[in-house]
Amino acid sequence: MTHPVVPQIIELASPLAEELNLELVDAVFQTNKNPPILRIDVRNPNTDTSLENCEQMSRILEEKLDLAEIVPGAYVLEISSPGISRTLTTEREFIAFKGFAVKISTFGPYKNHQQWHGRLQHRDETAVHINKKGKAIAIPRNLIAKVELDDE
């Protein structure tokens, strides 16, 4: 269950993240810890989220939280990045992970397979293109349930 202060924290933290060209991804207040931990996940939409991004967010948010007195008592503020999502969805991700091993799941069998493994080549309007052991394969986008990075 979300802690009652989380929406207020998100409301306060989101514009601060935007000032630093970051996106606020998630906020969790773990009151079962002693002291409680307020974890804010941010990501840099333009590049990898750096330690410096997290430190800047921490400094600016800590000051505002103390002034707003939203969080009662002592707590630990953690700013982190959610890391790489395993599932590829955006055009940017398909470009960034070109050449990486991917696993493609289809809604139903396509050429007798419902799972495809290969190296990502590119995505266009009609298909996701992979290289499977030197063979180019185009899987129609309308059949694809999910494309994710594969730990081969």
Q: Where are the domains of the chain?
A: 6-80, 91-149
Q: Give me the CATH code for the 91-149 domain, please.
A: 2.30.30.100
pLDDT confidence of residue 34: 86
Give the CATH number of domain 6-80; options: 3.30.300.70, 3.10.180.10, 3.40.50.1100, 3.40.50.300: 3.30.300.70
Tell me if domain 6-80 and domain 91-149 are identical in fold: no
pLDDT confidence of residue 70: 84
Q: Which helix (H) or strand (E) holds 80?
A: strand 76-80
pLDDT tens readout for residues 7-47: 999 999 999 999 999 999 888 888 888 888 898 989 888 88
Return the percentage of the chain with pLDDT > 70, whole number.
95
